[in-house]
Chains A and B, each alone.
Chain A
Amino acid sequence: MDEILNINNLTKAYDDINVLDHVNLTVKKGEVVVIVGPSGCGKSTLLRCINSFEPIREGKVILDGETINPCKGKLNEVRERIGMVFQNYELFPHKTVLQNMILAPVKVKKIKKKEAEKEALALLDRVGLSGKKNSYPRQLSGGQKQRVAIVRALMMNPEILLLDEITAALDPEMVREVLDVVINLAKEGRTMVIVTHEMAFARAVADRMVFIDGGRIVEEGTPDDFFENPKTERLRKFLDSFSYQ
């Protein structure tokens, strides 16, 4: 498998405090990497560094051979190639589901509106939301909004998809419908970097697990090794915090 993303020696500081400390991570085409770790350990920051929402202090992020943070070229052209879905959906509230989905393809990729709509409808159909194409975000449940946010990102045909705790704001009964969509994307061979607190989901979807603590990658491995035989005490403690025995 080809390497698509390479995070090389990345250090990120806020107010002179390193929140990411010499992080190295590579993601291969079609691979699903799931990042877990305690609150405040730097997971979101890492994702935000990947598409240059955050300037970095040291190191670099390389997408398909091209250094994208620090970015010398046009940031918007780089971000076009990276999909990102946020915890709070961030749909555009004044646009319908369909309008949300076609905005960037039409404006950025200059795709014809009709074509974009056709593609959007096909995607909506796949996530069971074709009936909602003319609804405004306020008319959707959290789970529906998040599914729209995912297919909106897919409309740009990103080379890699970043998902940051996309079920954290959802009521428990809606988590499943969103995670099922992600599992299907993984089966299709989408390259993804996922941050989540849903351990069962992580185990099911991941090709590789990464544990971050205090801004460093403390441990990584296959899901089975990671969950069955954690090598570090810190990961063991972290995993224990999710069980109730």
Chain B
Amino acid sequence: MDPEVLIDYFPRYAEAFLLTVRLGFTGIFIAFVLGIVSAFFMHFKVPVLSQFFGGYIEVFRNTPLLVQLFFIYFGLPKIGIATSAEVCGAIGLGLLGGSYMAEGFRSGLDAVSVSQTESALALGMTGGQIFFNVIFPEAFTLSVPAIVANVIFLLKETSIFSAISLMDLMFTAKDLIGLYYNTTEALFLLVVFYIVMLIPVSVAGNLIERKVRYKMFGA
């Protein structure tokens, strides 16, 4: 491995890293919101909305991100919606992630027993007070392991962004290899940057998991 090549390539990777992180976390944020909303409607079996989000979850869980991105990236302009590749990437990741997050949150909601709601009702609490103070925190605690796993999964899925010509880490590596044939250096940096992105997330995930679960389950 040639250190000079590494130094040479570094700025391009750093730029791609920032793009990947930005789109990755934007997508994950969308996934979070979408996941919570769908899980809410599914769990409480809200008519129409639960069917709508149920359909959404099935479609996006059962198709590859690559296909979803193509649909968004090439499909939207066809129906007259012009967007950038970046927006498409974040939305695509958000939609895929939302379907996974929804399942995670929903299994948490379903695991909170009805009698918890009843005991809160018996104290005179309203539906909203119960959802935000009792059901959601309990469900969230139960869902945390699934959610952390989803976040890491989604960050890794960003490697598909290169397919819609986003200059993410994967794109940069392929591009540099194609141009200069320094395969070892290019792949080495690719791995390093993915690890730099994912290890802190993984560590933070473990900490959050332990902190949140401590209340209900102990160390």
Chain A 64-107 residues near chain B, CB threshold 8 A:
75-77, 79-84, 86, 88, 90-95, 103-104, 107
Verify if B134 is at the interface (C-beta below 8 Å from A). yes
State how many angstroms separate the Cβ of B146 from the closest Cβ of chain A: 17
Verify if B216 is at the interface (C-beta below 8 Å from A). yes
Per-residue A-contact encoding for B189-219, CB less than 8 Å = 1, 0 else: 0000000000000000000000000011110
Asked whether A107 and B119 contact (CB < 8 A) given A76-B125, A77-B124, A94-B138, the answer is no
* Interface of chain B, main secondary structure: helix
Select A104's contact among B124, B216, B217, B218, beta carbons within 8 Å.
B124
Verify if B115 is at the interface (C-beta below 8 Å from A). yes
Beta-carbon contact of A83 and B122 below 8 Å: yes
Beta-carbon contact of A84 and B125 below 8 Å: no
Select B216's contact among A53, A77, A90, A136, beta carbons within 8 Å.
A136
Verify if B123 is at the interface (C-beta below 8 Å from A). yes
Per-residue A-contact encoding for B112-123, CB less than 8 Å = 1, 0 else: 000110111111
Task: List residues of chain A with CB within 8 A of the CB of B215.
Answer: 93-95, 136
Chain A 192-230 residues near chain B, CB threshold 8 A:
none
Verify if A108 is at the interface (C-beta below 8 Å from B). yes
CA distance A138 to B214 in the complex (A): 10
Interface centre among B122, B126, B134 (most CB of A within 10 A): B122
Chain A 37-84 residues near chain B, CB threshold 8 A:
51, 53, 75-77, 79-84
Task: List residues of chain B with CB within 8 A of the CB of A93.
Answer: 138, 215-216
CA distance A186 to B168 in the complex (A): 71
Verify if B51 is at the interface (C-beta below 8 Å from A). no
Interface centre among A53, A104, A109, A139 (most CB of B within 10 A): A104
How many chain B residues have a CB neighbour from A under 8 Å?
21
Beta-carbon contact of B134 and A104 below 8 Å: no
Per-residue B-contact encoding for A113-141, CB less than 8 Å = 1, 0 else: 00000000000000000000000101100
Closest chain B residue to A105 by CB distance? B123
Beta-carbon contact of B216 and A84 below 8 Å: no
Verify if A156 is at the interface (C-beta below 8 Å from B). yes
Verify if A147 is at the interface (C-beta below 8 Å from B). no
Closest chain A residue to B137 by CB distance? A94
Closest chain B residue to A84 by CB distance? B122
Verify if A153 is at the interface (C-beta below 8 Å from B). yes
Verify if B129 is at the interface (C-beta below 8 Å from A). yes
Select A90's contact among B119, B137, B141, beta carbons within 8 Å.
B119
State how many angstroms separate the Cβ of A127 from the closest Cβ of chain B: 18
Beta-carbon contact of B124 and A90 below 8 Å: no
CA distance A124 to B116 in the complex (A): 22
Select B124's contact among A88, A108, A136, A139, beta carbons within 8 Å.
A108
Task: List residues of chain B with CB within 8 A of the CB of A156.
Answer: 123-124
Chain B 89-121 residues near chain A, CB threshold 8 A:
115-116, 118-121
Closest chain B residue to A75 by CB distance? B121
Task: List residues of chain A with CB within 8 A of the CB of B218.
Answer: 136, 138-139
Beta-carbon contact of A76 and B118 below 8 Å: no
Beta-carbon contact of B123 and A152 below 8 Å: yes
Verify if B184 is at the interface (C-beta below 8 Å from A). no
CA distance A217 to B137 in the complex (A): 42
Given A104-B123, A107-B125, A136-B216, 12 more A-B residue pairs with CB atoms under 8 Å apart are A79-B121, A80-B124, A92-B120, A92-B138, A93-B215, A94-B215, A94-B216, A103-B133, A104-B120, A104-B125, A108-B125, A156-B124
19 example contacts (A-B, Cβ-Cβ < 8 A) are as follows A51-B122, A76-B124, A76-B125, A79-B122, A79-B123, A79-B124, A86-B119, A90-B119, A93-B215, A94-B137, A94-B141, A95-B215, A103-B133, A104-B120, A104-B124, A104-B125, A107-B125, A107-B129, A153-B123
Contact surface of A with B, Cβ cutoff 8 Å: 51, 53, 75-77, 79-84, 86, 88, 90-95, 103-104, 107-109, 136, 138-139, 149, 152-153, 156
Top 4 closest A-B pairs, CB basis? A80-B124, A90-B119, A104-B123, A84-B122
